Amino acid sequence: MTLPIALFLAFGFCFGLATYSNRHLFSEGPTQRRDKSEPTPLLDGRVMWTLTCTLLWPLMVLTGLNTWWILSRRRAVAARRLKD
C-alpha cells in the first residue's frame, strides 16, 4: 500500500518542479516575473509550489487542462478573425 502513495507523492513532486515556471497556466502565481532584486520568502517560491503540487497534482492537472482548453479556443477565435 505504501508504493502507490510513494509514487503519488513522487510524481507530484516532479510535477511541481517541472511546472514552477508556468504557474500562471494553473491559475496560480504571477503572470509576469517579479523584480529579481527583492528577496523572496522561502515559502513564496519554488518550495511552496512544489509542496502544493506534491499533494494536489491531480487538481493542478485539471486546472492546467482547463486553461489549455480556454487558451486554444481564444487562439482559434483570433485566427478566424484574422482570416476574415
Q: Where are the beta strands (DSSP E) in the chain?
A: none
Say if residues 16 and 49 touch (Cβ distance below 8 Å): yes
Per-residue confidence (pLDDT) for residue 54, from 0 to 100: 94
Per-residue confidence (pLDDT) for residue 69, from 0 to 100: 92
CA distance 17 to 26: 14
Average pLDDT per block of 10 residues along the chain, 84 residues long: 93 92 73 58 77 92 90 90 81
